[in-house]
Amino acid sequence: MPMKQVLFVDDEAKVLEGLQRMLRSMRREWKMLFANGGQEALDILAKEHVNVIVTDMRMPGMDGQKLLMAVAEHYPEIIRIVLSGQSDQEMVLKCVGTAHQYLSKPCDPEILKDTVNRAFSLRGLLANDSLRRLVSRMTSLPSIPALYLELTEVLQSPNASIEKVGKIVSKDMGMAAKVLQLANSAFFGNARHICDPADAVIYLGLDTIKALAFSVNVFSQFEQSDFSKFSIDEFWRHSVATGAFAQRIAKSLQFPEKMIHDARMAGLLHDVGKLVLAANLPKPYEDMWTMVQDQGIPQWQAEVEVFGSTHAEVGAYLLWLWGLPGPIIEAIAFHHSPGASPEQSPTPLTAVHIGNAIELEMQREGDLELASTVDLEYLTKLGLVSRLPFWREILRQLAGPLTSEEALHET
Ligand SMILES: [Fe+2]
Ligand SMILES: [Fe+2]
C-alpha cells in the first residue's frame, strides 16, 4: 500500500519546522509535505497524491479559505483540516462551509496525530470511490424547511434566547450535526465530548449560530421539488421518533447519562445517509426506491445494488469526516447490522438498532414476524432478547404523545 501523504501549509517557516519536529515519530507512517503558502500547496497537489491537507488560515497571497475552496473543487477526496490561531476565529468561521475539521494553534501533538490518523482510518468505511468524493464535497446538510424558518425568525427577533435556539437546532439533523461538529472540534470546543446539540449551541454562542445561518450560509432549506420519492416530512418524523425511542431504551438499559445522550443523538441522525443520497443523487435514488417496491427487498439491499454502499455507511462516513464522537458514528454505521460491529456489549448502537426496528414495525402493521427487522441473534448474544416485548410495549406508549409538538421539545 502506498504511504499516506499529508500536506502542511503555513506562511511561517518556523511553524512548518515546528510541525516537522513535532511529528518526527510519524515519519514511518506518513509522508509529510510542507508548503509555504497557498500557491506552493497547489503546485504540490498537482504532482503528488495527497490524502490529507492541514492548512493555516491567515496567509499572504492565497489565504487558507481560498486554498481549501480550490482543493474542494479540484481534489474533493482530500480531507481538509484547518490549523489556525484563536485570533483568526472570524476567518475560520468563514471556511465552515469548506473544511472538514478545525484545530487550534498551538496544537497538542497527540490531537494532531489523532485527527490525521482518524481521517486515514475513514477510507474503509465507504468502499465506493465516487460516493466518497461526493460525501467529502458535502460540508452541510439541508434542514427541514419549517425548522429552518423557525430558526431564522427566532434569530432575527430582538429577544432571541439561546435556549429557544438550542431547542430548534436539536430537532433538525442538518443543524444538529453541524453544531456538534463545531463544538467537538479542537478549535471551537476544545475537543470535548459534546453530544447534546443544545449544549453545543450554548458552547458556540448566539453570534456563531447567527453567522452559520446568515453569513456563512451553512444552514439551508431542503428543496422538496427535486425528489418526488423522498418525503422529508416522513424522514424527519421517523428520525425524531427513533431518537426518542433510542433514548428510552438507553434509559431502560441503565446507561450512564453520556451514553443516553449519544443514543438519542445517534437515533436522530441514524438515517442521515438517506438525506445525502436523496439530495445529491435524486435519479438513482428513485431507481433504488422502485426496486424496493417492485422486488420487496430491504432498502439497504437495493442501495448496495444501485450505489454500491448503504445509507448507513454514507451517513457514518460523513459524520466521521466531520469529527462527531465515535459511539454516534458506530451506531449509525451498524444500525441495520449490529452484529457486524466490533463492540459486543450494549452500546448506543443497541438502543438505536432496536429503536429503529420497532419504529418501523409500528409503521408497517401486520405480521410482526414478517415486519420485524430486529437482529435476534445479536440481541441473544447480548442477553437482551427477552426484553423485546417490554420495549415494544413502552415504545408504543411513548409513540402516542410523540406526535404532539410538546413531546418533540422534551429532552
Ligand atoms: Fe436506516
Ligand atoms: Fe431508520
- In CATH, the architecture of 4-121 is 3-Layer(aba) Sandwich (3.40)
Q: List the pLDDT tens digit at each of the 411 positions of the chain.
A: 567 899 999 999 999 999 999 999 888 889 999 999 999 999 999 999 999 999 999 999 999 999 999 999 999 889 999 998 877 777 788 878 788 888 888 888 888 888 888 777 666 778 788 888 888 888 888 888 888 889 999 999 888 899 999 999 998 988 999 998 888 887 876 656 888 899 999 988 888 898 888 877 778 877 765 556 788 888 889 999 999 999 999 999 999 999 999 999 999 999 999 999 988 888 899 999 899 889 988 888 899 999 999 999 999 999 988 888 888 999 999 999 999 887 779 999 999 999 999 998 888 765 555 556 899 999 999 999 999 999 999 998 888 765 544 444 443
Backbone angles phi, psi at 197, to 5 degrees: -60, -30
Question: What pairing do the DSSP bridges indicate for beta strands 142-143 and 101-105?
Answer: unpaired
* Domain regions of the chain by residue span: 4-121, 145-221, 225-409
Q: How far is the CA of 357 from the centre of ligand 1 (A)?
A: 9
Q: How far is the CA of 66 from the centre of ligand 1 (A)?
A: 36
Cα of 323 vs centre of ligand 2, distance in Å, is 22
Å from CA of 299 to ligand 1 middle: 8
The CATH number of domain 225-409, selected from 1.20.1250.20, 3.30.1330.120, 1.10.3720.10, 1.10.3210.10: 1.10.3210.10
Three-state secondary structure call for residue 7: strand
Distance 408 CA to ligand 2 centre (A): 17
pTM above 0.75, yes or no: yes
Q: Compute, in angstroms, the gap from residue 247 CA to the centroid of ligand 2.
A: 15
Q: What separation, in Å, do the N-terminal and C-terminal C-alpha atoms of the chain show?
A: 47
Q: How far is the CA of 164 from the centre of ligand 2 (A)?
A: 27
Q: Which ligand approaches the C-alpha of residue 273 most closely?
A: 1
| Centroid of ligand 1 to alpha carbon of 340 (angstroms) | 15
Among the bound ligands, the one closest to the CA of 312: 1
Q: In angstroms, what is the span from residue 25 Cα to ligand 1's centroid?
A: 41
61-69: long-range contacts at Cβ-Cβ below 8 A with a sequence spacing of 24 or more?
61/37, 62/37, 62/38, 63/38, 63/91, 64/9, 64/38, 64/91, 64/95, 65/91, 65/94, 65/95, 65/98, 66/38, 67/9, 67/38, 67/41, 67/42, 68/95, 68/98, 68/99, 69/98
Taking the centre of ligand 1 as the mean of its atom positions, its distance from the CA of residue 211, in whole angstroms, is: 32
Q: For residue 317, what are the contacts with CB-CB under 8 A and spacing of at least 6?
A: 122, 125, 126, 131, 132, 135
* Per-residue cell: 378: 445479536
Residue 356 CA to ligand 1 centre (angstroms): 7
Q: Give the ligand at the shortest distance from the Cα of 357.
A: 2
332 contacts 269 by C-beta, under 8 angstroms: yes
pLDDT of residue 151: 92
